[in-house]
Structure 1
Amino acid sequence: MTAVLVIEDDDRIRLALLLALEEEGYAAYGAGTAEEGLRRQRETPADSVLIDLMLPGIDGFECIRQLRRDDDVPIVVVSARDDTHDIVAALEAGADDYLVKPVAIKELSARLRALRRRGRSTMVPA
Structure 2
Amino acid sequence: MEDDPRIQQLISAEITDEGHACICFGSAEDFLDEAGSDRFDLLLLDLMLPGMDGLACLKQLQHQAALRVVIVTAPNYADKKHEALANGAEAYVLKPDLFEQLPQLLQTRSMV
The TM-score, its normalising length taken from structure 1, stands at: 0.78
Contact 1:21 / 1:105 at 8 angstroms: preserved in 2? no
Alignment pair present for 1:67 and 2:61? yes
Find the aligned partners of 1:103 and 1:43 in 2 and give their Cα distance: 29
Alignment of 1:93 onto 2:87: yes
Query: 1:43, CA displacement in angstroms?
Result: 4.1
The residue number in structure 1 matching 2:28 is 34
Query: Structure 1 residue 12: deviation in Å?
Result: 0.8
Structure 2 residue runs without a partner (length 5+): none
Q: How does 1:1-126 map to 2 (within 5 A)?
A: 7-43=1-37, 45-113=39-107
Shift of 1:19: 0.7
Give the conservation status (yes or no) of the 8 Å contact 2:72–2:98. Answer: no
| Secondary structure of 1:30 counterpart | coil
**Corresponding residue pairs, total:** 109
Moved over 4 A (4+): none
Do the aligned partners of 2:41 and 2:66 also contact (CA within 8 Å) in 1? no
Normalised by the length of structure 2, the TM-score is: 0.87
Identity of aligned residues (%): 35
Tell me the distance in 2 between the aligned counterparts of 1:105 and 1:25: 14
The answer to which of 98-107 and 30-39 deviates more is 98-107
Structure 1: gaps (5+ residues): 1-6, 117-126
Deviation at 1:44, TM superposition (A): 5.9
Which amino acid letter does the alignment assign opposite residue 30 of structure 2? E
The two structures, once aligned, show a CA RMSD in angstroms of 1.8
Letter of the 1:53 counterpart: L
Q: What one-letter code is carried by the residue in structure 2 that aligns with 1:77?
A: I
**Aligned partners of 1:81, 1:55: CA distance in 2, in Å?**
13
